[in-house]
Amino acid sequence: MPPPTSLAAVVLAAGFGKRFRSASTPKVLHPAAGEPLVGHVVRAVAGLEGLDRLIVVVGHGKSQVMEAVSSRWPEAIFVEQPEPRGTGDAVAVCAEALAGFDGQVVVVSGDSPLIRTRTLAALVEEHRKSEAAVTALTSIMDDPTGYGRIIRSEADGSLRIVEEADASPDEAAVREVSMCFWCFEREPLFRALAEVTTDNAQGEYYLPDVVPLMAAAGGRITTVMAPDPSEVLGVNDRKQLADATRLLRSRRLDELMASGVTIEDPAATYVDTGVEVGPDTVIRPLTFLEGATRVGAGCSIGPSARIVDSVVGDGADVSFAVLKSVHVGPRAQVGPFASLRPGTRLEAGSKAGSFVELKASTVGERSKVPHLSYIGDAEIGAGVNVGAGTITCNYDGETGTKSRTRIEDGVLIGSDTMLVAPVTVGRGAITGAGTVVTRDVEAGTVVVGAPGRPVRRRRPKAGDPPHGGEGR
């Protein structure tokens, strides 16, 4: 028997996916719980101990599939199946990629996102222990429609796999099914593939047809039952995609709750598989945590929050808000009804309050943008208070330029201030309500009017709070 490290994997990802009715997206790239279908499968396969070669068979949309997989798993080897001639042909085209390899070959379907590494590892373990030529992963299903049936012979204990299109009524009634999860010995596999024909209802080269050929050559055939029938489910249309997404998210919620996260209503909480959440965080209903989001410990998230590809620090509070590609520091507050757009960063203890929109801006420690403001392309220092209705006028409609606004530490921005970028408001300055700032404001200066003009110097007194003014 080959050493345990002699393991290769073939992921079948060449299918068109006609039932998706998608003109632009290959079947295996449709996302489920934040990751393409094939991404879930490759992750499960890549986790196998001792994996020597990772091969992905591509066909329809090959460049898109290759880009999606290689960006995460650069070690992947891609093999093209020029024509969609069946699963047997898809494995046969890997002969060159497996040249010189002498060990076990795991073959998996690229459209089955629920498969777990531990289940594939059990498949390999049983295959090696039994010294089989081929081991199939099977499952008992209440409704086996669409899957190949496992037909066992009571007389001699042999088995064969019959595709649904070729099954008789009695065979179609069998509920034990074969999924496209296999472990083969390489040499007998490719010997049998050379003998497979297209004598079937679909006129294709079926991979299961190698089973009787390998048995006839004296190879041992074994099966392993999947511990959870949902793991082997394939995704062939958008309804099945929705079902798989729901199951993947449910798994992630179970994992998070087991790790110390409170989820008030799992049925109304949507967390992608790649999201991480720290202990003692509370996630309230109608929260969506998507992509590569990282939420710290002791946070309050939701209700009605959508956080995408963002980092939320320990102890932060986010409710009724949308965050996309932003960084929220520890103990910061967001919402209600706030929109934080890409490139925004809230430092520790800062606030973006009700009906506030931030874009490509930094809000310093303990600084507050409490309500009804738009801050874009701005850098706000520490201890700043931004009054209601403040707007950074950052866009030049003639040139298309977006200029930056700089507000230094301890500034008080009055209500309805317009900051016409590029402009800097110096440390400790104040703008009066309704001021239009068109030029830099010196540190410690009070400006009012439209355009803003200095009226006096501000003289901070001992014991002044780090921030003040309207809107606190």
| C-alpha to C-alpha distance for 132 and 223, rounded to whole angstroms | 10
Beta strands in 189-301 (DSSP E): 221-225, 262-263, 269-271, 276-277, 282-283, 287-290, 294-295, 300-301
Residue 119, φ and ψ in degrees, nearest 5: -70, -40
* Chain centroid offset of residue 183 CA: 28
Show the tokens assigned to 113.
Answer: 């996102």
Closest CA to 57 of 48, 45, 66, 68: 66
| C-alpha to C-alpha distance for 196 and 89, rounded to whole angstroms | 9
User: Which residue in 30, 40, 127, 371 is the catalytic one?
Assistant: 371
Q: In terms of residues, how long is the chain?
A: 472
- Whether 467 sits among the annotated catalytic residues: the reply is no
| C-alpha to C-alpha distance for 295 and 312, rounded to whole angstroms | 5
Cα distances from 302 to residues 30, 279, 285, 317, 333, in angstroms, run 27, 16, 7, 8, 12
Cα distances from 22 to residues 63, 210, 383, in angstroms, run 16, 32, 51
User: If phi over 0 gives left and psi between -120 and 50 gives alpha, with beta otherwise, what is residue 349?
Assistant: left
Show the tokens assigned to 262.
Answer: 């409170």
| C-alpha to C-alpha distance for 164 and 198, rounded to whole angstroms | 15
What's the farthest any 2 CA atoms get from each other in the chain? 102
- What amino acid positions are annotated as catalytic residues? 371
